[in-house]
Structure 1
Amino acid sequence: MRADRRVGGRAESFHRSSLPSFRQVFGWILLGAATVYTAALVMVLIVSQQDQRRPVDAIVVLGAAQYNGRPSPVLRARLNHALHLYREGHAPRIIVTGGMGRGDTTSEATVGRRFLVSHGVSSEAVIVQAQGRSTQASMTAVGEWLEHERLNRVLLVSDPFHMFRLRMEARRTNLEAYTSPTEDSPISDNPVLELRYLFAEGFKIPVAWFRAAVSPLTSHSQSL
């Protein structure tokens, strides 16, 4: 009887020791999270250096802040870059995005259109998509408009740190998307500020990966 108890006690002790401790599980979780974050950050850095300008159906400019109808320095840099690409002949149209913030009386997209038209772009060549206040919402609106027009190839314009996530969202809506980051953004000119945005993207990318895995979009009509 005592022998049975000893054997049973040893078996129970062995079973308990074979299970990972809370500290081990927590360590694995931290290691996994750090690996995912590092992978995301590496991809952000790689794509931020890629300029894939080429002939496309449309140049897409991601919105940024505007002040009383005037583009902020960040938005102006994006618009100037899109204007340069347009003049190089990479696309016959420019799509400007960005909705209205709290207290605004006009949208970022509308301000972008005014800027481009004032710099010689035909008003018919500038398409306003002001529905979105996020990268995901803006790209969904752009994708739906392009699908309606039977167009698909886009050249995305934004700050370098933004390009990887932006391309992810564009391709998630079934667009053939290429990137052309701004070359003189005020954010890029401030190393400390740029690092803050880069590190923030490291957290946003895994969320975008998870969302794409849970609810992938293969057609704009599926999202309606």
Structure 2
Amino acid sequence: MKMLFNKKLRRYLLLLVVITVAVIEIPIVAVGYLTRPVPSDTIIVLGAKLIGTQPSTMLRLRLDEAIDLYNHGYAPTIIVSGAQGQDEITSEAEVMHAYLVAKGIPADKVFIENQSYNTYQNLLNSKKIMHEHGLRRAIIVSNASHIRRSLVLAQQLGIEASGAPAPMADSAYLTTKQYAREGAAMLSLLIFNK
């Protein structure tokens, strides 16, 4: 009898885990692939890991998306946001700025926000830059797995924003890791509201 109860309990727990994952992950995937940018005043590019003084694959994909948006007239300015991590030799924002300028974006059209260590800080500090420059509406650029949480945080902070999902890395391992990480972060956001 006890073994039968344990078996049923395990089934219920597994079902609970599957439902929780589905409820959290399906909207992350859907928003990441269905969201489209709206012409705005600025493009906010959220930081990601550096490889030395170069953007990682995920960050390069974000930057290339921002370049495409800028070149197609979606916004006249770009905010690059990201501090210097403990294992980084410079700030993410400085590397992002250099990358964009090397790709032909005018330096004076790229604002640097280099004090942020997480998505909430990225958006809060970018909002301050928007306010300083009279920018009211933003397009948030991040990888597809990160767009839903970014838009939820932007809404909480009172930023009028649309999203522009950059592609995910061409790696099943990295993509799975990013979606799992975002699922945990989104669950935390829903529970703790930050």
Find the partner of 2:179 among 193, 198, 201: 198
Q: How far does the alpha carbon of each residue in 1:82-118 deviate from its partner, in whole angstroms, 9 at most, with x for none?
A: 0011000000101111111114331000100011111
TM-score, L = length of structure 1 = 0.75
Aligned counterparts of 2:32 and 2:76: Cα–Cα separation in 1? 25
Structure with greater strand share of residues: 2
Q: What SS does the corresponding residue of 2:48 show, helix, strand or coil?
A: coil
Q: What SS does the corresponding residue of 1:101 show, helix, strand or coil?
A: coil
CA contact (8 A) 1:154 1:175 kept: yes
Q: What SS does the corresponding residue of 2:165 show, helix, strand or coil?
A: coil
Equivalent residue runs for 1:28-177 within 5 Å: 35-177=19-161
Gapped regions of structure 2 (runs ≥ 5): 1-7
Q: What SS does the corresponding residue of 1:49 show, helix, strand or coil?
A: helix
CA contact (8 A) 1:155 1:178 kept: yes
CA contact (8 A) 1:92 1:125 kept: yes
Aligned counterparts of 2:148 and 2:66: Cα–Cα separation in 1? 18
Q: How far does the alpha carbon of each residue in 1:156-182 deviate from its partner, in whole angstroms, 9 at most, with x for none?
A: 111111111111111111011111111
Aligned counterparts of 1:123 and 1:44: Cα–Cα separation in 2? 33
Residue type matched to 1:198 in 2?
A: Y
CA contact (8 A) 1:37 1:203 kept: no
Residues 76 and 208 (structure 1), Cα distance of their counterparts in 2 relative to 1, 3 Å cut:
same
Q: What SS does the corresponding residue of 1:83 show, helix, strand or coil?
A: helix
CA contact (8 A) 1:156 1:177 kept: yes
Q: What SS does the corresponding residue of 2:93 show, helix, strand or coil?
A: helix
Would you say how many aligned residue pairs link Structure 1 and Structure 2? 189
**Percent identity at matched positions?**
28
Partner of 1:9: none
Q: What SS does the corresponding residue of 1:181 show, helix, strand or coil?
A: strand
- Structure with the greater alpha carbon radius of gyration: 1
Aligned counterparts of 2:13 and 2:123: Cα–Cα separation in 1? 32
Equivalent residue runs for 1:17-32 within 5 Å: none
- Structure of greater relative contact order (alpha carbons < 8 Å, 6+ residues apart): 2
Cα RMSD between the aligned structures?
2.5
Q: How far does the alpha carbon of each residue in 1:10-60 deviate from its partner, in whole angstroms, 9 at most, with x for none?
A: xxxxxxxxxxxxxx9999888666544421111101111124122101111
TM-score, L = length of structure 2 = 0.86
Residue type matched to 2:52 in 1?
A: N
Query: Is structure 2 residue 189 aligned with structure 1 residue 208?
Result: yes
Find the partner of 1:179 among 136, 155, 163: 163
Aligned counterparts of 1:37 and 1:139: Cα–Cα separation in 2? 26
Report the CA distance between 1:199 and its aligned residue.
Answer: 2.2
